[in-house]
């Protein structure tokens, strides 16, 4: 017997609402969820849509779809220094595949618990293409959110983690290769830097998550702050695993700077915070690499650039754009 919309919800998604978190007054099952935000805090809200064939390859493992899509959505909260308080989801399915739904929902359940993000409502419909939309809600102490527009000239520029690994793993997959074991988890199971973002409140002056590529997203931050930057490409040589997996030094630098899908955080901070950022990197066991400085002159200037990596090529990187 075919499963109806309500059968799918009851069997695969209703149980996910059992994890309510401390701020959920009323969860799934009513016309609206009701949240009681922490006293003295503001809500951060973001929505992301993920479509098969555009945001993830066709017929990819449902566990990868669940983790990548939710991590990408929550990464926006991380970039604001926000703590998750709830998630709603809207899923469009081309058909009913019980095995796919089971794997997707089980991975989703684990991710919601790991990232302390209760599922508080959603919707399921039928359509031509698999599509998943998450709306994430987070809270942040009053006026302590971190936006893109707070940087000032002369500030240090940092990036977290290992930018480029996810992009190289995706390129290997799209070329029909098996992504190397050290790279694959960065694409298949990204981690939203929620703890990092929250700990950067009061330290970072501006921040953005890296979804479209380090250069492209850094440029968004610089545009919002009305600044330019000077980047030292020699600072990006710390990732020996990426260097070994890439075909050359130039290829490694290119993928670090231009590949998307990392969901790391790029942020600025005054030099007086260098010691605190170093301690935070140790506590989180996460590289926080200082890659350059902001400057008043617009544009990005590159230091220690490999000869075969042209300024024109780097300057043209604008990230993925729909309708182009």
Q: Which CATH number does the domain housing residue 77 bear?
A: 3.30.1330.10
Q: Examine the domain organization and report whether 195 and 247 are in the same domain.
A: yes
In a domain, 2, yes or no: no
In the structure encoding, which two tokens stand for residue 116, read together? 């302390």
pLDDT value at 260 more than 80: yes
Q: Is residue 147 part of a domain?
A: no
Quick one: average pLDDT of 206-231? 96
Percent of the chain whose predicted confidence (pLDDT) is above 70: 97
pLDDT at 180: 86
| Domain end (from 141, 171, 186) | 141
Tell me, yes or no, whether 190 lies in a domain.
Answer: yes
The pLDDT value given to residue 318: 57
Q: Are residues 167 and 309 in the same domain?
A: yes
Same domain, 164 and 309: yes
The reported pLDDT for the residue numbered 58 is 81
pLDDT reported for residue 20: 86
pLDDT at 319: 59
pTM score: 0.94
- Give residues with Cβ within 8 angstroms of 193, minimum separation 6: 75, 78, 160, 161, 209, 263, 264, 265, 286
Q: Tell me how long the chain is.
A: 324
Do 173 and 77 lie in one domain? The reply is no
Q: Are residues 176 and 304 in the same domain?
A: yes
Q: In the listed set 141, 165, 190, which residue is the last one of a domain according to the structure? A: 141
| Residue 165 structure tokens | 């690994």
Identify whether 272 is part of a domain: yes
Nearest in space to 139 (alpha carbons), one of 83, 91, 93: 83
What does the pLDDT average to over 76-86? 98
In 3-state terms the chain splits into helix, strand, coil percentages (rounded to 5) of 40, 25, 35
Least confident of 33-37, 156-160, 176-180: 176-180
Give, rounded to a whole angstrom, the gap between the first and last alpha carbons of the chain.
43
pLDDT averaged over every residue in the chain: 93
What integer is the mean pLDDT of 295-314? Answer: 88
- What b/e readout covers 137-147, taking b as 16+ CB neighbours within 10 angstroms? bbbbbeeebbb
The answer as to whether 25 is a domain residue is no
| H helices present in 50-155, as ranges | 62-79, 98-114
Enclosing domain of residue 130: 7-15+40-141
Residues 161, 258 share a domain: yes
Report residue 317's pLDDT band, with 50, 70 and 90 as the boundaries.
low
Decide if pLDDT at 81 tops 70: yes
pLDDT exceeds 90 at position 310: no
Decide if 49 is inside a domain.
yes
Six-digit token string for 85:
């308080």
Taking alpha carbons only, the member of 191, 291, 181 closest to residue 244 is 181
**Is 320 among the domain residues?**
no
Q: HSE (CB half, 13 Å, CA atoms) of 81?
A: 21
Average pLDDT over residues 149-168: 96
Q: Does 223 lie in the same domain as 119?
A: no
Residues 52 and 177 in one domain: no
- Residues ≥6 apart with Cβ < 8 Å to 260: 166, 167, 210, 211, 212, 213, 216, 319, 320
Phi, psi of 158, deg, nearest 5? -125, 160
Our count of domains for the chain comes to 2
């Amino acid at each position: 017997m075919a499963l109806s919309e309500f059968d799918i919800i009851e069997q695969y998604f209703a149980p996910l609402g059992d994890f309510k978190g401390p701020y959920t007054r009323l969860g799934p099952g009513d016309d609206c969820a009701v949240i009681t935000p922490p006293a003295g805090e503001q809500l951060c809200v973001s929505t992301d849509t993920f479509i098969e064939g555009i945001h993830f390859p066709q017929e990819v493992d449902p566990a990868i779809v669940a983790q990548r899509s939710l991590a990408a959505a929550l990464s926006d909260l991380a970039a604001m220094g926000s703590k998750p308080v709830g998630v709603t989801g809207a899923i469009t399915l081309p058909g009913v595949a019980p095995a796919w739904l089971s794997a997707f929902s089980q991975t989703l359940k684990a991710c919601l618990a790991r990232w302390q993000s209760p599922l508080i409502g959603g919707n399921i419909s039928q359509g031509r293409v698999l599509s998943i939309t998450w709306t994430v809600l987070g809270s942040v102490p009053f006026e302590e959110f971190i936006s893109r527009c707070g940087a000032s000239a002369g500030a240090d520029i940092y990036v977290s983690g290992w930018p480029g690994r996810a992009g190289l793993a995706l390129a290997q997959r799209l070329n029909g290769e098996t992504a190397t074991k050290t790279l694959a988890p960065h694409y298949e199971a990204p981690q939203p830097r929620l703890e990092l973002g929250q700990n950067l409140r009061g330290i970072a002056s501006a921040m953005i998550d890296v979804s479209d590529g380090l250069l492209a997203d850094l440029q968004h931050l610089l545009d919002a702050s009305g600044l330019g930057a000077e980047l030292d490409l020699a600072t990006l040589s710390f990732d020996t695993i990426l260097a070994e997996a890439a075909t050359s030094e130039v290829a490694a630098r290119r993928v670090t700077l231009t590949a998307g899908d990392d969901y790391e955080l790029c942020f600025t901070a005054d030099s007086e915070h260098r010691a605190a950022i170093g301690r935070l990197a140790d506590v989180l066991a996460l590289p926080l690499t200082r890659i350059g400085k902001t400057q008043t002159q617009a544009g990005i200037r590159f230091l220690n650039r490999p000869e075969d990596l042209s300024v024109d090529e780097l300057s043209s990187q604008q990230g993925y754009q729909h309708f182009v």
